[in-house]
Amino acid sequence: MTDLRIGGAERSGIRLFDIFGIEIRLDWSVLIIFALIVYSLGAGLFPQWHESWSVATTWLTAVSAGVIFFASLLAHELSHSLMARRFGIRVPRITLFLFGGMAEIEAEARAPREEFAIAVVGPLMSMALGVGFSFVAGALMGEETLARLAEDPETAMAALSPLATACIWLGSVNMMLAIFNLVPGFPLDGGRVFRALIWWITGDAVRATRLASNAGRAFGWAIVALGFYNVLGLGNLGGLWLILIGWFLTHIARSSYTQMITERSLRSVRLADVMRTRFETVSADTSVERFVEECLLRSSQQLWPVVDDGRHVGTVSWSDVAGLAPEQRRSVTVAELATGLDEAHTLEAGEMATAALRRLGSVGDQPVAVLRDGRVVGLVRAGDILRWTLMHPADGEP
């Protein structure tokens, strides 16, 4: 039997804690960016500002600033999540990963006004944090140092306490985050704001999405170009980072557009409407050898429901059979090899197609049995659902 589980709980990274009923997770890729940030502060910026600091003070400040930076990212994502929840949209978890945070907002906003509010609140939070940290830094410095900052910045900076130093950095980095996120390229927050505004004005959500997605791709390519200019023109290897971010942006601009269009055309469609209903079954007492020779090799069907005395008892697939040595095939029946029809391995016909598509994503393009009242009524692969949307494009109405 197969170990593949659909909609698996096998998420990468670790669960940190729950806040406001939202699970906060940390993807392992965060460690890379965290190490980079701490290194650039501890080995670059802070020693440059503070020649007199001890090694311990420098690195302790760098690590603390790095941790607070990730807490700021989390606050940004939480603001999106809580706003989404106000409009009745579920947000089960937030994952921090290589390029920042990602709130899993389960549905698209139903109205442009809601989309606008959900999108704009994130950059506003980052801006508020940026202003807040800068304000605290200013208060810690006192008027004298503040005045000196303009005349003799080097001496003024050198006199700052670790806390004030961290606050200055956190203030500017949060403001930069707010500005970066406000660029009108989907799926950045600014792109969502842009999309919401076009949707608001034209009433055409699909067109708004396409325009915002194109803007996002253009912005991504611009960053890639800037990265290449840095590497090739200026010999600055930091440009590699820009190339990576830019490429990632073009990629998600495209894929989130496809996803949104797919979800729109699948809106209110159930799994029963998109599954394959033409399939054959195999009797439980069939030997695996006969199953292979007479069924599997004579058909393109990959997953076969196993029927025992009129009851559906499981499914058997290519991969199940492949694990069995040829000499064993004669003595083993398909029933012995079958995967049970439990929740982890099947879908329900009444389930929404979009939800099913998300769960199917975890098994690649493997077929899964669809049940109604315990009987297999269809088979479905992620590709089947996408094929269905090609034949039933979404209309422009929201």
What is the set of active-site residues? 77
CA 249 to chain CA mean position, Å: 13
**Closest CB to Zn ion among residues 126, 317:** 126
What is the total count of residues that contact Zn ion (CB under 5 A)?
A: 2
Q: Establish if 122 lies at the interface with Zn ion (CB under 5 A).
A: yes
CA angle 212, 214, 217 (to 5 degrees): 110
Answer yes or no: are the C-beta atoms of 58 and 47 closer than 8 Å: yes
Answer yes or no: are the C-beta atoms of 192 and 186 closer than 8 Å: yes
**Closest CB to Zn ion among residues 103, 376:** 103
Q: In whole angstroms, how close is the CB of 65 to Zn ion at the nearest point?
A: 21
Among all residues, whose Cβ is closest to Zn ion? 122
Radius of gyration of the chain (CA): 27
Of 81-89, 121-129, 268-276, 310-318, which part binds Zn ion (CB under 5 A)? 121-129
**Closest CB to Zn ion among residues 108, 189:** 189
Q: In whole angstroms, how close is the CB of 75 to Zn ion at the nearest point?
A: 11
Of 120-128, 206-214, 242-250, 355-363, which part binds Zn ion (CB under 5 A)? 120-128
**Closest CB to Zn ion among residues 223, 363:** 223
> If we measure between CA atoms, which residue out of 368, 339, 342 comes closest to residue 353?
368
Range 176-195, binding Zn ion (CB under 5 A): 189
Cα dihedral sign for 252, 254, 255, 257? positive
Q: In whole angstroms, how close is the CB of 131 to Zn ion at the nearest point?
A: 17
Q: Backbone dihedral region of 276: left (phi > 0), alpha (psi from -120 to 50 degrees) or beta?
A: beta
Q: In whole angstroms, how close is the CB of 27 to Zn ion at the nearest point?
A: 16
Answer yes or no: are the C-beta atoms of 136 and 180 closer than 8 Å: no
Answer yes or no: are the C-beta atoms of 339 and 2 closer than 8 Å: yes
Residue 263, CA distances (Å) to 57, 108, 186, 353 in order: 51, 9, 16, 9
Q: In whole angstroms, how close is the CB of 80 to Zn ion at the nearest point?
A: 5
**Closest CB to Zn ion among residues 183, 208:** 183
Rounded Cα distance between 225 and 10, Å, is 36
> Which residues form the interface with Zn ion (CB under 5 A)?
122, 189
